[in-house]
Amino acid sequence: MEKAVLGIYVGGREGAEVTDPPEDVGIIVEGCAVLQDLRDMANGCACLFGLIYCLNLSYPKDLRYTFEFLQKVLMGLDGNKLSTKVQVLKNKLHNCHVDVLYTRSAELGVITCIVCSGSEIFRGVLFSH
């Protein structure tokens, strides 16, 4: 954690299953945990963007396109001004044939999304509450 410039950490109990809820979710800024005991990744993501905005932080250079995609495309904040790389990705996502399958785990409150496009399959947790 001390090497992380900016990020979200998720801590679990030793021996916990992947489906078990996290023991701790928090925010790291310049190697220091600045927020702890956030309920889940969705709150962690929202708080991270709130801290970036309130503290007027820059995105880490090696993750700037990831953060830009999250902010402008997925969250829809200031989405009119995109870098070329993010605009190309956004166009590819909007122009491909997509089948989206959602599964929900009621116990965990997690929604998983599986996107199929041709022979590629992408899977990830969209949000939890």
| Distance between first and last Cα of the chain | 25
More confident residue, 110 or 83: 83
User: What percent of the chain has pLDDT above 90?
Assistant: 8
Instruction: Find the domain containing 104 and state its range.
Output: 96-129
CB 70 within 8 A of CB 42: no
Tell whether 120 is covered by a domain: yes
Model pTM score = 0.63
- Single out the residue of 86, 106, 84, 102 nearest to residue 94, CA to CA: 86
The per-residue pLDDT for range 12-56, each reduced to its tens digit, is 888 878 778 888 899 998 888 999 999 888 888 889 988 988 988
Domain count of the fold of the chain: 1
